[in-house]
Structure 1
Amino acid sequence: MASHENDTLSDLLGDLEAASKLPAKRRQATVKPTVEKTTSLLYERGVLPDELARLVDLVTLRNYLDQASLAAIVRNLYPAGKVGDDVVLCVVGALGHGQLKPALTLQALLLRWLVMAYHLLQNPDILSQAYGVFFNLLSTAAIRPQLCHLLALITRRKYVRPFRIQAILALSRQTGSDPHLTGLLRVFKNYYPEIIVGEVTKGRAAAFKHPDPQWRDRVNEIQQQQQLDRQDYGGTKNGFAVNHALGRQMNGATASVFPAVHTQHSQESSLTLEEIDKAEAFVDNLEKIELPTQLVAVMADPLLQKLLLLRPDADASARISNWVMACLGDVAAGDTDPAFMLDMLEVVHDYVMNTKTLPPLLLTFLQMFLGTWNGVDKRSDVLETVSYTPLGDFKSKPPPPLYKKLFQLLESSLLDSTAASQVSLLKFYTLLLRRWSIAMRASQDSVDPVLPDGSAGDLVSHVNKLALTLTQTAPGAATQLAILDFYECFASVFSIPRLLRSVDLCIPPALVVYPMVFGDSLVVLSRLCGILAAYKRAWEAIMAPSSPAARQLTRREREQVNTFNGFLMDLCNCLWRGRAFATSDLNAQGCGIPRALEPALDSYVRAVDSELALGALFGLSYSPVLCLQAISYVRELEEAEIEASPDGLRSRHAGPVTQASLTRLASRGGVALSFPEYRSGVLKYLESNGFPGVPELMYNTMKNLMKERK
Structure 2
Amino acid sequence: MAPPDSSELSGLLDDIEAAAKLPAKRRKTPIKPTVERATTLLYERGALPDELSRLVDLVTIRSQLDQASLGSIIRNLYPLAKVPDDVVLRVVGALGHGHLKPSLAIQGLLLRWLVMVYHLLENTSILSQTYGVLFNLLDTAAIRPQLCHLLALITRRKHVRPFRIQEILGLSRQTGSDPALTGLLRVFKNYYPEIIVGQVTRGRAAAFKHPDLQWRERLEEIRNQHVEHQDDGIRNGFAVNHVLARQMRGSKLGGLPVVHTLHAQENSVTLEEIDSAETLAKNLEKIELPTQLVAILADPLLQKLLLLRPDAEAFERIENWLRACIDDVAGGDAEPSSLLDLVEILHEFVLSTKILPRILLFFFEALLRIWDGREKRDAIVETLSFVPLLDYGHLRTQLFQPLENSLLDNTPESQLVLLKFYTLLLRRWIILVRASPKANPAARDSIHDLISHVNNLALTLTQTSPKASTYLSILDFYQSCASLFSHRQILEHVEITIPPALLVYILQFSNSQAVLSRLCSTLAVYKRAWEAVMLPPAKRQLTRREREQINTFNGFLMDLCNCLWRERAFSTTDLNAQGCRIPPPLVPSLSGYVRAIDADLHLTALFGLSHSPVVCLQSISYVRELEDNDDEVATRHAGPVTQMSLAQLTTRGGLRLTWQEYRLGVLQHLEKQGFPGVPELMYNTMKNLMKGK
Which runs of structure 2 are paired with 1:170-189 in the superposition (5 Å)?
Answer: none
Which runs of structure 2 are paired with 1:352-391 in the superposition (5 Å)?
Answer: 352-391=350-389
Alpha-carbon contact 1:264-1:292 (below 8 Å) kept? no
Distance 1:474 1:410, change over 3 A: same
Distance 1:677 1:273, change over 3 A: same
Q: C-alpha displacement at 1:347, in angstroms?
A: 3.3
Say if 2:546 is the partner of 1:564.
no
Q: C-alpha displacement at 1:130, in angstroms?
A: 14
TM-score (norm 1): 0.69
Q: 3-state DSSP class of the match of 1:357?
A: coil
Paired letter, 1:596? L
For 1:332 and 1:691, locate their aligned partners in 2 and report how far apart those are by CA, in whole Å. 55
Alpha-carbon contact 2:570-2:587 (below 8 Å) kept? no
For 1:459 and 1:355, locate their aligned partners in 2 and report how far apart those are by CA, in whole Å. 24
Q: 3-state DSSP class of the match of 1:312?
A: coil
For 2:304 and 2:331, locate their aligned partners in 1 and report how far apart those are by CA, in whole Å. 33
Q: Which has the larger radius of gyration?
A: 2
Bigger shift: residues 324-333 or 424-433: 324-333
Deviation string 1:271-290 (CA, Å, 9 cap, x unpaired) is: 22434444344434444444
Deviation string 1:298-321 (CA, Å, 9 cap, x unpaired) is: 434444434433333444444443
Distance 1:231 1:375, change over 3 A: farther
Q: C-alpha displacement at 1:559, in angstroms?
A: 4.3
Alpha-carbon contact 1:299-1:351 (below 8 Å) kept? yes
Q: C-alpha displacement at 1:471, in angstroms?
A: 2.0
Aligned counterpart for 1:634 among listed residues 623, 628, 641: 623
Match of 1:422 in 2: 415
Say if 2:237 is the partner of 1:248.
no
Match of 2:564 in 1: 575
Match of 2:485 in 1: 494
Deviation string 1:559-596 (CA, Å, 9 cap, x unpaired) is: 44443333222211211121223344443233546843
For 1:589 and 1:495, locate their aligned partners in 2 and report how far apart those are by CA, in whole Å. 28
Alpha-carbon contact 1:375-1:414 (below 8 Å) kept? yes
Say if 2:273 is the partner of 1:271.
no
Aligned counterpart for 1:484 among listed residues 475, 498, 507: 475
Which runs of structure 2 are paired with 1:35-184 in the superposition (5 Å)?
Answer: none
Q: 3-state DSSP class of the match of 2:405?
A: helix
Paired letter, 1:436? W
Match of 1:237 in 2: 237
Deviation string 1:48-79 (CA, Å, 9 cap, x unpaired) is: x8xx9899999x999xxxxxxxx9xx99x9x9
Deviation string 1:443-487 (CA, Å, 9 cap, x unpaired) is: 3x33x6534431111111111222122223333222222111111
For 1:156 and 1:520, locate their aligned partners in 2 and report how far apart those are by CA, in whole Å. 77
For 1:302 and 1:193, locate their aligned partners in 2 and report how far apart those are by CA, in whole Å. 39
Say if 2:455 is the partner of 1:458.
no
For 1:249 and 1:672, locate their aligned partners in 2 and report how far apart those are by CA, in whole Å. 76
Q: C-alpha displacement at 1:355, in angstroms?
A: 2.6
Distance 1:590 1:381, change over 3 A: closer
Q: C-alpha displacement at 1:437, in angstroms?
A: 0.7
Bigger shift: residues 304-313 or 656-665: 304-313
Match of 2:515 in 1: 524
Q: 3-state DSSP class of the match of 2:565?
A: helix
For 1:477 and 1:543, locate their aligned partners in 2 and report how far apart those are by CA, in whole Å. 34
Alpha-carbon contact 1:411-1:425 (below 8 Å) kept? yes
Distance 1:612 1:214, change over 3 A: farther
Match of 2:638 in 1: 654
Match of 2:261 in 1: 262
Distance 1:578 1:215, change over 3 A: farther
Say if 2:524 is the partner of 1:540.
no
Distance 1:544 1:11, change over 3 A: closer
Q: C-alpha displacement at 1:261, in angstroms?
A: 3.9
Alpha-carbon contact 1:244-1:261 (below 8 Å) kept? no
Alpha-carbon contact 2:618-2:666 (below 8 Å) kept? yes
For 1:520 and 1:190, locate their aligned partners in 2 and report how far apart those are by CA, in whole Å. 80
Which runs of structure 2 are paired with 1:578-617 in the superposition (5 Å)?
Answer: 578-585=567-574, 586-592=576-582, 595-596=585-586, 599-600=589-590, 602-604=592-594, 606-607=596-597, 609-617=598-606
Paired letter, 1:611? D
Paired letter, 2:237? K
Q: Which runs of 5+ in 1 are unaligned?
A: 1-8, 27-34, 63-70, 101-106, 176-180, 396-400
Match of 2:684 in 1: 700
Match of 2:428 in 1: 435
Distance 1:310 1:54, change over 3 A: closer
For 2:12 and 2:450, locate their aligned partners in 1 and report how far apart those are by CA, in whole Å. 65
Q: C-alpha displacement at 1:438, in angstroms?
A: 1.2
Paired letter, 1:661? S
Distance 1:161 1:321, change over 3 A: farther
Paired letter, 1:237? G
Paired letter, 1:435? R
Which runs of structure 2 are paired with 1:657-676 in the superposition (5 Å)?
Answer: 657-676=641-660
Match of 1:103 in 2: none
For 2:463 and 2:130, locate their aligned partners in 1 and report how far apart those are by CA, in whole Å. 67
Q: C-alpha displacement at 1:543, in angstroms?
A: 3.7
Alpha-carbon contact 1:250-1:343 (below 8 Å) kept? no
* Identical residues among aligned pairs (%): 47
Alpha-carbon contact 1:605-1:613 (below 8 Å) kept? yes
Q: C-alpha displacement at 1:203, in angstroms?
A: 10
Match of 2:500 in 1: 509
For 1:581 and 1:686, locate their aligned partners in 2 and report how far apart those are by CA, in whole Å. 24
Distance 1:19 1:545, change over 3 A: closer
Paired letter, 1:376? R
Distance 1:214 1:611, change over 3 A: farther
For 2:339 and 2:130, locate their aligned partners in 1 and report how far apart those are by CA, in whole Å. 39
For 2:194 and 2:358, locate their aligned partners in 1 and report how far apart those are by CA, in whole Å. 38
Q: 3-state DSSP class of the match of 1:454?
A: helix
Match of 1:625 in 2: 614
Alpha-carbon contact 1:393-1:455 (below 8 Å) kept? yes
For 1:125 and 1:298, locate their aligned partners in 2 and report how far apart those are by CA, in whole Å. 25
CA RMSD of aligned residues (A): 6.2
For 2:491 and 2:347, locate their aligned partners in 1 and report how far apart those are by CA, in whole Å. 32
Match of 2:327 in 1: 329
Alpha-carbon contact 2:495-2:543 (below 8 Å) kept? no
Q: Which runs of 5+ in 2 are unaligned?
A: 19-28, 30-37, 60-71, 96-100, 104-109, 132-136, 196-200
For 1:14 and 1:367, locate their aligned partners in 2 and report how far apart those are by CA, in whole Å. 58
Match of 1:690 in 2: 674
For 1:677 and 1:535, locate their aligned partners in 2 and report how far apart those are by CA, in whole Å. 28
Distance 1:201 1:191, change over 3 A: farther
Paired letter, 1:534? V
Distance 1:622 1:230, change over 3 A: farther
Match of 2:63 in 1: none
Deviation string 1:414-461 (CA, Å, 9 cap, x unpaired) is: 333333322222111111101111111223x33x65344311111111
